[in-house]
Structure 1
């Protein structure tokens, strides 16, 4: 799957995503419009999420500790997801990266905001910050900021 000016908006309990092992992913977020800068975003809440069907690797392992609220599931198993340019904003999401190759290493920038991020099977996840190297805008509140940045969990 390849495309420029691509934005995914997931809504409802059955929303989710799986890029399987034998896929090639090269995606860039929109440069204008309501999804400018967002490669993936979602409806901010979910009540009874339906996980995507298991792929060739089966179902992912359960989260290390039970989540405090329901989460949609997004799974990248691809060993060729080299360009994922933009912001992945999934506040009610569990992003599972379950491949054995570099992910997003050819992107000028990738910002990930998720409820839960799991890395399995040895991927290398690149979160480049070359914001000036692309016309894809950085959504307000993420990306280059002045001041103190703190991880809370």
Structure 2
């Protein structure tokens, strides 16, 4: 395969991961997996790690396996599927754990309308402390109304 195909595979998997994340978040984390996700919805959780971090391992495992099998006898398409999952996981960590939940103080005062919209949508998700009545289950693609609100708040300042 040509490098262009590998790049398209990686980008395609990255985009598909948003849908997989949305479905997993809505139907597994807020369903059968609520035991692991519940502490994530509790304000002021006092520990560095949450039970919710279990899902990091769940999503990282296929990526690691695809890296291993995709590089066994030279690099093949499986490696680039794993790379797409890895890049999405990295974006998820930076957006969700760093920007939104401030587990690290790296993006304290952003004025970027896109990043502000992501924070607002996730705050709306967390206003529900239980597993029912949730909204905004995605991470990178959120309803357009939050982008409009973020743009207005930046223009106001």
Band the TM-score falls in, shorter-chain normalisation: under 0.3
| Structure label with greater radius of gyration | 2
Task: From the two aligned structures, give the one with the greater strand fraction.
Answer: 1
Q: Which has the higher contact order (CA 8 A, sep 6+)?
A: 2
